[in-house]
Structure 1
Amino acid sequence: MLNLISLLSAALTLIYGFLVLNFIRGWHNLIYFTPKKSDPQTRVSIIVAARDEEANINKTIDDLIAQQYPKALTEIIIIDDHSTDRTAEIVLSYADQHVKLIKLNEDRALNSYKKKAIQTAIGTCTGDLIITTDADCRMGAEWLATIVNLYEEKKYKMISSPVAYFQEKSFFERLQSLEFLYLIGLGASTIGNKQPSTCNGANLAYEKTTFYEVGGFQGIDDLASGDDELLLHKIAAKYPDQIGFLKNREAIVYTHAKETLGSFIQQRKRWASKSTRYKNKAIIVLGVLIWIFNLSILANFITGLFIPGFLSITFYQLLVKMILETLFLWDVTGFAKRRSLLILIPVLNILHVLYMVYIGIAGNSGKYNWKGRMVR
């Protein structure tokens, strides 16, 4: 029995090792982008869906207004999603700086207010290139120009750009920062391997015409999440070689980690819920294999409490996992200039197993809380 489990665990570990090595290859396939000096021609619409963001929205708008990009080619649209605080009032105070406010006014209950907000804005915007970010994000002054520079050079239908956490206030938030960089790196590497799987709507660009070509959010509009990843899958299905990742530090958008375990779990359940709508079998297989590998580590550990031989299997699985993920994160954290976070890998490595097994189940069943609403 022990020999059989050892062989099965070794096979799963080898498969996971192959996947991580493939992620490393994909990351290295992405060349660091150096913008060329040129006069931009693309009209851009920056779209931000906001709900109860009075504490953050002014900083985000200030950063958007400060972009080093021609004002005549820039449109900023904030969609207020039924906020109960001063969000709309704060946005209106920027009207003289050409920041547009759209108030979402839905009488009937929806499951995806964010997709409705973005789609409403796209329906009224004048830009040829849509760029979405979140109402609690920060970005440098060259953010927009860098995205457009890549777009005008490569003519990608969609561009995924990096997102990172910053200003961490606790050990828990630093753990999230390292884990989040793993997710961003994973998404980037799959684009580098020409097999796009994930992206983040806090820093996403796509052509307006392409959005309508693939039917917008039609078919995925009953799911609360997925305005980024599921749209990526639709565009990648039609234009598999025209998805890009912007590997440039000026393009990084910064946001904050979750302060509590409860809010973190709700966020990750929301992210994991998107997997119920995956149509690309390769992405489904990838997710299932990673989940089974983590489940095997947990199962071996629990069994090892009663049959000591299983603990050594657990140890070797964790060791291989830690070495491989360190190799991958060495590159990704180097890009984000956060290599100091690597000291957290031993702790994150163990907690990540529990997290993956739990979220893999919880994210695909039941409801979760998002912005004060219970959705699925």
Structure 2
Amino acid sequence: MNLLPILLFAALVVYLLALVVLSSKWKRIKATKEPVQGGVDYPVTLLVPFRNERENIDKLLGNLANLSYPNLQIILIDDHSEDGGEKLVEEWISTEKKHNFKLISNQGRGKKAALEQGVVMANANIILTTDADCALSADWVQNMLMAFDDPSVQMVAGPIMTKGGNRIFDHFQQIDWAGILLMTNFFFSIKKPIMCSAANMGYRKEVFYHVKGYQGNHGNLSGDDSFLLEKVYQRFGPQAIRYLPESNVLVKTNPASSPRRFLAQRARWASKWNKHQFWQNAGGAMLSAVLSFASICSVLLILAGPTGVGMFALYWFLKLIFEYFVLGRVLKTYEIKPSIGYFIVASICHPIYVVAVAFLSFFVKTSWKGRK
């Protein structure tokens, strides 16, 4: 029992140091909602693949119609929907006479094939992508385009955050996303990007063809974003990829409706940890699982009597305080301020969730929109 506290607090020190190091790159980010000027002359194509999104179609179309960028083509790609959502899109485009909107059907299978077909149909060299369950600010397009004023920039990525809600589970997801954004920003800052999201991404059309799109990655259910990121990075170097963490390019997505769906989503993401070519992906996933398992094992300290209870309390106090200030800074950038109570719940539940996701990614087959 004497060795256990040493191991647990050693793991805690590693975790706290990791938080401090990751947060060191977030200090320069300023919260802003002001639209930036520039880049408004580029023709742009926005690709929105969707499958079985009938419940989100109305909000999606209304949101896309409110985008203020003047030279914008919007292509919605139906990936074999089974809920009639594609008919709603077709009727809306016809009724509203939206000539810059186009609906096409995926001739292949899966999101990667849908995006590849969208790229072929795009009439602009600058391509942006998002998902059907997301909400974009009116000036999102021009804010994303600013980075492309630099001719060396081939790809741009931005932050994702779940929409707010009244459930504790909704706040948990926002705090979890804060950790993802913190890590994403850090690795971009040190020129070693390891992740991004196709829900908030853009690239030059010729670059997509240059790296042969998703060739070699079609066998993976997800990862259209991170695999493309790796290809662009390897071909053009870190200077060709820009991450924009500011609030004026934030894309909001729907929170998972249930813990089961949330775990399934995260397990699907985690299941490709060993498919990446960068060791940081696998190393980060394994380290996170190990440190989370250590937090769960800290319960054993209570068995050591009053001294053990004191160490247990100290362990979780330090963990909570660091998470509250570090992740709270990230959320503050996007004007999200969860109470300390939500952080307590998240701090306790997060290690269990990480270990559960690791287990599911190894031993349970994942699915997306009814596909294994």
Q: Normalised by the size of structure 1, how large is the TM-score?
A: 0.89
CA drift at 1:317: 3.5
Give how far 1:321 is off.
2.4
2:168 paired with 1:171: yes
2:199 equivalent in structure 1: 202
Q: 1: CA distance between counterparts of 2:22 and 2:265?
A: 24
Compute the displacement of 1:51 (Å): 0.9
Aligned match for 1:160, one of 117, 138, 157:
157
1:220–1:277 contact (8 Å) kept in structure 2: no
C-alpha displacement of 1:250: 2.4
Deviation at 1:8, TM superposition (A): 2.6
Task: Pick which of 176-185 and 251-260 moved more.
Answer: 176-185
Q: How far apart are residue 186 of structure 1 and its match?
A: 2.2
Give the stretch that moved more between structures: 364-373 or 262-271.
364-373
2:25 is paired with a residue whose SS is helix
Aligned to 1:6: 5
1:154 is displaced (CA, Å) by 7.1
> Which stretch has the larger CA shift, 147-156 or 305-314?
305-314
- Equivalent position of 1:137 in the other structure: 134
Give, in angstroms, the shift of residue 164 of structure 1.
Answer: 1.6
Following TM superposition, by how much is the alpha carbon of 1:31 offset from its aligned partner in structure 2, in angstroms? 6.1
Tell me, what secondary structure is at the counterpart of 2:338?
helix
Return the alpha-carbon distance in structure 1 between the equivalents of residues 43 and 187 of structure 2.
29
Which residue of 2 is the match for residue 119 of structure 1?
116
- The answer to whether the 8 Å contact 2:302/2:312 transfers is no
Q: Note closer, same or farther for the CA distance 1:37–1:369 as it changes in structure 2 (3 Å cut).
A: closer
Task: Summarize deviations over 1:45-101 as a string: whole Å, max 9, x none.
Answer: 11111111122123222222221212xx31111111111122111221315312111
Cα displacement string for residues 127-174 of structure 1 (whole angstroms, at most 9, x for unaligned residues) = 212211111111121111111123225752221112222241422222
Q: Which moved more, 1:41-50 or 1:363-372?
A: 363-372
Question: What SS class does the counterpart of residue 52 from structure 2 fall into?
Answer: coil
| 1:310 CA drift (Å) | 5.6
Residue ranges of structure 1 left out of the alignment (5+ in a row): none
1:100 matched to which residue of 2?
Answer: 102
Q: Is the alpha carbon distance of 1:248 and 1:208 closer, same or farther for their aligned partners in structure 2, counting shifts above 3 Å?
A: same
Residue 196 of structure 2 is aligned to residue 211 of structure 1: no
Check whether the contact 2:35–2:248 (CA below 8 A) recurs between aligned residues: no
Corresponding residue SS for 1:27: coil
Task: Say which is worse superposed, 163-172 or 286-295, in terms of deviation.
Answer: 163-172
User: 1: distance between equivalents of 2:232 and 2:212?
Assistant: 10
What is the aligned counterpart of 1:330 among 324, 328, 333? Answer: 328
Which residue is equivalent to 1:63?
63
Residue type of the alignment partner of 1:331: R
Q: Given residue 163 of structure 1, which amino acid in structure 2 is its aligned partner?
A: I
In structure 2, the residue matched to 1:37 is: 37
CA positional deviation for 1:313: 4.8
Displacement over 4 Å in runs of 4+:
29-36, 305-314
Q: CA deviation at 1:36?
A: 4.6
Letter in 1 for 2:43: R
Q: Is the 8 A contact 1:130 1:207 kept in 2?
A: yes
Give 1:66-77 correspondences, 5 Å limit. Answer: 66-70=66-70, 73-77=71-75
Structure 1 residues 343 and 49: CA distance shift in structure 2, 3 A: same
Counterpart contact for 2:168–2:342, Cα < 8 Å: no
CA distance in 1, matches of 2:147, 2:31: 11
Instruction: Please give the alpha-carbon distance, in whole angstroms, between the structure 1 residues aligned to 2:218 and 2:185.
Output: 25
Equivalence map 1:80-91=2 (5 Å): 80-91=78-89
**Whole-Å Cα distance in 1 between the matches of residues 224 and 319 of structure 2?**
31
Fraction of identical pairs, as percent:
26
Does 2:222 align with 1:225? yes
- 1:255 paired with 2:253, answer yes
Deviation at 1:318, TM superposition (A): 2.8
Match of residue 17 from structure 1: 16
Residue 177 (structure 1) shift: 2.0
Task: Name the SS of the counterpart of 2:55 in structure 1.
Answer: coil
Q: Given the alignment, which residue of 174, 184, 188 partners 2:185?
A: 188
Contact 1:326 1:342 in 2 (8 A): yes
Mapped to 2, the partners of 1:254 and 1:177 lie a distance apart of 10
Higher deviation after alignment, 23-32 or 223-232 = 23-32
Given the two structures, how large is their TM-score scaled by the length of structure 2?
A: 0.90
Provide the C-alpha distance between the structure 2 equivalents of 1:141 and 1:212, rounded to a whole number of angstroms: 29
SS across alignment from 1:68: coil
The residue identity in structure 1 corresponding to 2:42 is T
| 8 Å CA contact 1:31, 1:247 repeated in 2 | no
Asked whether the 8 Å contact 1:160–1:204 carries over to 2, the reply is yes
1:231 Cα offset (Å):
1.9
